[in-house]
Amino acid sequence: MIASVLSPRAGAPRARPALLALLLLVPLLAACGVNNVPTLEEKAKASWAEVQNQYQRRADLIPNLVETVKGFAAQERDVLTAVVEARAKATQTTINADQLSDPAAVQRFQAAQDELSGTLSRLLVTVERYPDLKSNANFLALQSQLEGTENRIAVSRRDYIEAVQAYNTELRTIPGRWIAGVLYPEAKPMQVFEASVGSATPPPVSFAK
């Protein structure tokens, strides 16, 4: 009877140091950046979503642009067809956040978007031969929207690259590499979306006479 009463009391002092150690360990782990890997990963994924949003915004502008050009320059059939086909390919070549560690998937997406950028640039150069089209109100509105979208693409792509570099650095340096190995073994470095040479500059969209 006496032993049963004293037993919990005897165990209590031993439990207190363990609890104290646990309470001290939690802020220590947080200070070491135990949450850095998932935090940086989510930031990179969010940045990628913004890249996709801006490319989709551009794709949404193209049908109206093509129809407007067709109304003034239907004879430019080859250029218009190339833009339509490149848009279709770009919108069909998708990549989700879980594929960002796959170089082949990222390269396919990049190639499709670069192809669309190239055909769009050729279309805009062709427009220079049609003064009436360049002064059309609808076309001028599309010009402004396209210019803004190309700038947003450049900014979102830059933000994504910075986010991925921060995430990849965390996975490759200490203590992030150790923490990822123990707590986040599924974490993989992401691919940096690097546009082809020259595509960092938005296509010319100035149609002033």
In angstroms, the CA 80 to CA 101 distance is: 35
Q: Rounded mean pLDDT of 9-18?
A: 54
Is residue 22 situated within a structural domain?
Answer: no
Please report, for the domain that includes residue 126, its CATH number.
1.20.1440.20
**Residue 61: predicted pLDDT:** 96
Structure tokens at 136: 């059309």
Is residue 66 situated within a structural domain?
Answer: yes
Is residue 167 situated within a structural domain?
Answer: yes
Please give the share of the chain, as a percent, with pLDDT higher than 70: 77
**Residue 19: predicted pLDDT:** 54
Model confidence pLDDT, tens digit, residues 82-129:
999 999 999 999 999 999 999 999 999 999 999 999 999 999 999 989
Is residue 170 situated within a structural domain?
Answer: yes
184-188, long-range: CB < 8 A, 24+ apart: 184/37, 184/38, 187/37, 187/38, 187/41, 188/101
Q: What 3-state class would DSSP assign to 23?
A: helix
pTM across the whole model? 0.77
Model confidence pLDDT, tens digit, residues 63-80:
999 999 999 998 999 999
**Residue 87: predicted pLDDT:** 96
**Residue 1: predicted pLDDT:** 45
- Residue with the bigger pLDDT between 27 and 140: it is 140
Q: Which domain holds residue 103?
A: 35-184
Is residue 19 situated within a structural domain?
Answer: no
Q: How many domains does the chain have?
A: 1
Confidence class of residue 204 from pLDDT cuts 50, 70 and 90?
very low
In angstroms, the CA 147 to CA 154 distance is: 11
CA-based R_g, the chain, Å: 27
Is residue 204 situated within a structural domain?
Answer: no
Is residue 13 situated within a structural domain?
Answer: no
Confidence class of residue 42 from pLDDT cuts 50, 70 and 90?
very high
Q: Rounded mean pLDDT of 182-186?
A: 93
Is residue 85 situated within a structural domain?
Answer: yes
Average pLDDT, the chain: 84
Model confidence pLDDT, tens digit, residues 53-65:
999 999 999 999 9
**Residue 30: predicted pLDDT:** 53
